[in-house]
């Protein structure tokens, strides 16, 4: 049974059985963590927490079961590059991820743009691509490059631009505890890197210039 099939189950006991079969010991490990932080896993409010945590991991870290290149495998192929040299863009794609350093969430928006050559992809595929990379332990810098490189490898466009703006709870809730800062990362490929006018148009479209 794969993770999607487990998440589709409605009966609690069936879910627990499926989790214990596929991930033996995981629920008990969560109980141990609750004890480590000073909690009593046997108290009423926490009785179901261990299995709920493990179940939530199937969704939060669902990116490990996705192939990003397969997401872009359905595309429209045409010599569109001969018809237009305009940017195709999907902006304000929301994402939620987990910092690989502390396993604390970070979230934000991702802007993706590309200059087609012979392939164009459906708009939803760009959002799904972001989710595939976000739903795993990540760092924002790496995720930005992974999205850009996958688009370049599969669609072979004239260029790709990716900008991510993220808010990191590992910085807000612990350590320096700075609540107002955000992190901006970019990955420019092809004409977005080599042609200033293309890059500037992208930045203007997302209102960063």
Known catalytic residues are 99-102, 140, 168, 170
Burial class (CB in 10 A: 0-12, 13-18, 19+), 140: buried
Taking the chain, what is the end-to-end CA distance rounded to the nearest angstrom?
49
Distance, in Å, from the CA atom of 95 to the CA atom of 133, rounded to the nearest integer, reads 10
Contact status, residue 143 vs residue 63, Cβ threshold 8 Å: no
C-alpha span between 51 and 34 (Å, rounded):
12
């Amino acid at each position: 049974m794969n993770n999607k099939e487990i998440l589709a189950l409605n009966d609690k006991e069936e879910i627990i059985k499926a989790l214990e079969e596929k991930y033996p010991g995981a629920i008990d490990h969560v109980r141990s963590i609750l004890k480590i932080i000073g909690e009593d896993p046997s108290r009423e409010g926490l009785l179901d927490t261990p299995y709920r945590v493990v179940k939530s991991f199937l969704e939060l870290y669902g990116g490990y079961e996705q192939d990003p290149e397969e997401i872009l495998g359905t595309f429209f192929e045409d010599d569109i590059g001969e018809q237009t040299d305009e940017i195709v863009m999907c902006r304000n794609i929301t994402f939620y991820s987990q910092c690989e350093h502390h396993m604390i969430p970070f979230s934000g928006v991702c802007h993706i743009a590309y200059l087609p050559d012979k392939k164009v992809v459906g708009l939803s595929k760009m959002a799904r691509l972001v989710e595939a990379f976000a739903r795993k332990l990540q760092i924002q810098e790496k995720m930005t490059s992974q999205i850009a490189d996958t688009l370049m490898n599969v669609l072979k466009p004239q260029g790709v631009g990716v900008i991510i703006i993220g808010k990191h709870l590992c910085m807000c809730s612990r350590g320096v505890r700075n609540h107002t800062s955000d992190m901006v990362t970019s990955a420019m490929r092809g004409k977005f890197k080599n042609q200033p006018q293309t890059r500037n148009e992208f930045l203007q479209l997302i209102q960063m210039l």
